[in-house]
Structure 1
Amino acid sequence: MPNDLKDVENKIKGLKSLKYYEIEEFVKFDGDADKITKQLRNDDIKTSQLRKFFAAVKEIEMYVKDKRVWDDKAKVDFYLLMPKLAYAKGRKVISERFFNLMKITMEKVGSGNKEDTLDDFLRFVQFLEAIVAFFKVNNPGSL
């Protein structure tokens, strides 16, 4: 089996900005999110942690969609997700591979033009939504 997870990580690293990650590449069956969640199937990821992380991201999304701006509050809330992920990884309730994927993806939010940060974040939310959905499909009994 090819290392789809590494391929996706390298694809994301190569993007100028996360907003350029074409949605069609990760939302389809056999797309990036589907492939990587199949690889994460045997990782020790507590579904409660995945839901908790997803809920925190969705809360930030609701805030920025309401304000339609990436302000200091949104920025701080977003960047505080990384220490929470690191803590979860340290407690072994998310896997090293999931942590690395999220780290690489989150680092792309705001990596291009600062004006694009909101679009980058919204693409991150879409990517995470696809991961959560395919994680459920590829890991029956989870979530």
Structure 2
Amino acid sequence: MEINIGKPGEKINPDLFNDIAKNVAKVVASGGDRVNKATQLRKFYDEIVLWDSKVRQNPEKFDDYLPFIRMINAKAAYARGRKLVDDNFVDLIHKGLQQVICAQTLHTFKLFMEAFMGFYKQERPN
């Protein structure tokens, strides 16, 4: 699974919120019925939205917030340990957060996750 949210100042890949998000959703949806329930994934998305909102209100505090944003990786690992999410979802979170280096990249990752969640719901409606 490959996602590239881009670097600050770069144009966003026109396929990021469509084809790429759809393909990633298909991979994560293939995990089986017992893992990756939409409500569980929504918790991670909601936290990313929360941090994006905080950063957009106070962009100068991004560096202070970054350790807590990256801590979402630990939360995903914990959820994996409890068999609530699978390795594909943990990998998605890790690869996305690894590319978050400023307010702009966080916002792009948030938008990607929004698109991913929409396609995921299409792949696994219940």
TM-score, normalized by the shorter chain, greater than 0.5: yes
- The runs of 5 or more residues in structure 2 that have no matched partner are none
In structure 2, the residue matched to 1:132 is 117
Aligned partner of residue 92 in structure 2, secondary structure: helix
CA RMSD of aligned residues (A): 2.1
Aligned to 1:24: 14
3-state SS in 2 of match to 1:119? helix
Task: State the SS of the aligned residue for 1:92.
Answer: coil
Letter in 2 for 1:60: W
Within 5 A, what are the aligned runs for 1:1-143? 5=1, 8-9=2-3, 12=4, 17=7, 20=10, 22-28=12-18, 31-43=19-31, 44-69=35-60, 70-72=62-64, 74-110=65-101, 117-141=102-126
CA distance in 2, matches of 1:51, 1:25: 22
Q: Which runs of 5+ in 1 are unaligned?
A: 111-116
Say if 1:41 and 1:135, in contact at 8 Å, map to a contact too. yes
TM-score, normalising length: structure 1: 0.75
Q: Deviations over 1:96-136 (max 9, x none)?
A: 011112111211112xxxxxx11111111111111111101
1:35 partner letter: N
Q: How many residues align?
A: 122
